[in-house]
Amino acid sequence: MGEIRFMKGNEALAEAAIRAGMQGYFGYPITPQSEVIEYLAAEEPNHDYTLIQAESEVASINMVYGGAAAGARVMTTTSSPGYSLMQEGVSYIACAELPCVVANIARGGPGLGTIQAGQGDYFQAVKGGGHGDYRQIVLAPNSVQEMVDHTILAFELADKYRTPVLILSDGAIGQMMEKVELPDPIPYKPNKPWATTGKTHDRERNYITSLYIQSDDMERKNISLQKKFRKIEEKEVRFEEYMIEDAELIITAYGVTSRTSKKIVDLAREAGIKLGLHRPITLWPFPSERIIELASDDKVKAFFSIEMSAGQMVEDVKLAVNGRKPTFFYGRTGGIIPTPEEVIDFIQKKAGEL
Amino acid sequence: MLNEMIFAGFGGQGVLSMGKLLAYAAMKEGREVSWMPSYGPEMRGGTANCMVNVSDKPISSPIVTMYDVVIALNQPSLDKFEPKVKKGGILIWESSTIKDGPKRDDIRVFAIPAVDKANKELKNVQVMNMLILGALVKVNDIVKKESLIVALKETLPERHHKLIPLNEKAIALGMTLV
Amino acid sequence: MREGYEVIYQKPKTLTDNKMHYCPGCIHGIMHKIFMEVVEEMDIQEKTVGVCPVGCSVFAYDYMDVDMQEAAHGRAAAVATAIKRMLPDRMVFSYQGDGDLAAIGTAETLHACNRGENFLFIFINNGIYGMTGGQMAPTTLNGQKTTTSPLGRDKKSMGSPLKMTEMVTPLDGVAFAARVSGNNPANVRKAKRIFRKALEIQQQNIGTQFVEVVSNCPSGWKCTPVESMDWIVEQSIPYYPLGIFKEPGK
Residue-wise pLDDT tens digits, A305-350: 999 999 999 999 999 999 999 999 999 999 999 999 999 999 999 9
Nearest to A176 among B24, B34, B65 (CB): B34
State how many domains chain C has. Answer: 1
User: C226 CB near a chain A CB, below 8 Å?
Assistant: no
- Whether C86 sits inside 8 A of A201 (CB atoms) is no
Q: Which residue has the higher pLDDT, C164 or B64?
A: C164
pLDDT at A1 over 80: no
**Three-state SS at C41:** helix
Q: Express each pLDDT in B121-177 by its tens digit.
A: 999 999 999 999 999 999 998 999 999 999 999 999 999 999 999 999 999 999 999
Distance (Å, whole) CA C150 – CA C238 = 23
Nearest to A55 among C47, C48, C111 (CB): C111
Question: Within a domain: residue C5?
Answer: no
pLDDT of the residue at B44: 52
- Whether C70 sits inside 8 A of A74 (CB atoms) is no
Q: Given a contact as 3+ CB pairs under 8 Å, which chains touch A?
A: B, C
Residue B137 Cα, gap to closest chain A Cα (Å): 20
pLDDT at B42 over 60: no
Q: Which residues of A touch B39 (CB under 8 A)?
A: 31-32, 115, 171, 175
Question: Within a domain: residue C96?
Answer: yes
pLDDT of the residue at B1: 77
Nearest to C61 among A56, A88, A209 (CB): A209
Nearest to A67 among C72, C86, C111 (CB): C86
E strands of B32-172, at which residues?
32-37, 47-55, 67-72, 85-94, 108-112
pLDDT of the residue at B141: 86
pLDDT at A264 over 70: yes
Q: Which residues of B touch A172 (CB under 8 A)?
A: 36, 62-63
Q: Kindly report whether the peptide bond that precedes residue B102 is cis, defined as omega within 30 degrees of 0.
A: no
Q: Where does the pLDDT of residue B41 fall: very low under 50, low under 70, confident under 90, or very high at 90 and above?
A: low
Taking alpha carbons only, the member of C231, C129, C91, C116 closest to residue C177 is C116
Q: Given a contact as 3+ CB pairs under 8 Å, which chains touch C?
A: A
The packing angle between helices A87-96 and A215-235, to 10°, is 90
Give the CATH number, domain containing residue C199.
3.40.50.970
pLDDT of the residue at B12: 85
Residue extents of the structural domains in chain A = 3-235, 240-353
Distance (Å, whole) CA C112 – CA A186 = 32
pLDDT of the residue at A188: 85
pLDDT < 50 regions, chain C:
none
pLDDT of the residue at B45: 56
pLDDT of the residue at A281: 98
In which order are the strands placed within the sheet that holds A275-280? A239-242, A275-280, A249-252, A302-307, A327-331
- Whether A178 sits inside 8 A of B35 (CB atoms) is yes
Residue A58: closest C-alpha in chain C: C75
Residues 86-105 of A with CB under 8 A from C: 88-89, 92, 96
Q: Which residues of B touch A178 (CB under 8 A)?
A: 33-35, 59, 62
pLDDT of the residue at B170: 97
User: A267 CB near a chain B CB, below 8 Å?
Assistant: no
For residue B1, what is the DSSP state? Answer: -
Interface with A, mutate which of B43, B61, B143 (most A CBs under 10 A):
B61
Q: Where does the pLDDT of residue A297 fall: very low under 50, low under 70, confident under 90, or very high at 90 and above?
A: very high
**b (16+ CB within 10 A) / e for C13-27:** ebbbeeebebbebbb
pLDDT at B84 over 80: yes
Q: Given a contact as 3+ CB pairs under 8 Å, which chains touch B?
A: A
Nearest to B33 among A179, A260, A263 (CB): A179
Q: Are strands A74-78 and A100-106 parallel, antiparallel or unpaired?
A: parallel
Domain around C222: 29-129+161-246
User: C67 CB near a chain A CB, below 8 Å?
Assistant: yes
CATH number of A3-235, picked from 3.40.190.150, 3.30.465.10, 3.40.50.970, 3.40.50.1100: 3.40.50.970
pLDDT at B39 over 80: no
Q: Please calculate the CA angle B64-B66-B69 and round it to the nearest 5 degrees.
A: 100
- Whether C79 sits inside 8 A of A89 (CB atoms) is no
Residue B48 Cα, gap to closest chain A Cα (Å): 14
DSSP tally for chain B: helices H, then strands E: 6, 6
A240-353: what fold? Rossmann fold (3.40.50)
Q: Kindly report whether the peptide bond that precedes residue C24 is cis, defined as omega within 30 degrees of 0.
A: no
pLDDT at B43 over 70: no
Q: Which residues of C touch A210 (CB under 8 A)?
A: 70
Question: Within a domain: residue C227?
Answer: yes
Interface with A, mutate which of C16, C43, C85 (most A CBs under 10 A):
C85
Global pTM value: 0.95
B2-176: what fold? Pyruvate-ferredoxin Oxidoreductase; domain 3 (3.40.920)
pLDDT of the residue at C250: 79
Q: DSSP per residue over A288-351, as a string? A: HHHHHHHHTSTT--EEEEEESSSSSHHHHHHHHHTTSS-EEEEE--TTPPPPHHHHHHHHHHHH
User: A69 CB near a chain C CB, below 8 Å?
Assistant: yes
Q: Which residues of B touch A175 (CB under 8 A)?
A: 36-37, 39
Q: What is the mean pLDDT of chain A?
A: 97
Residues 142-181 of A with CB under 8 A from C: none
- Whether A200 sits inside 8 A of C85 (CB atoms) is no
pLDDT at A131 over 80: yes
Least confident interval from A27-31, A95-99, A310-314, B63-67:
B63-67
- Whether A172 sits inside 8 A of B23 (CB atoms) is no
Do C and B share at least 3 CB pairs under 8 Å?
Answer: no
Residue A48: closest C-alpha in chain C: C86
pLDDT of the residue at A333: 95
Distance (Å, whole) CA C169 – CA C163 = 10
Domains A3-235 and A240-353 share a fold: yes
Residue B40 Cα, gap to closest chain A Cα (Å): 7
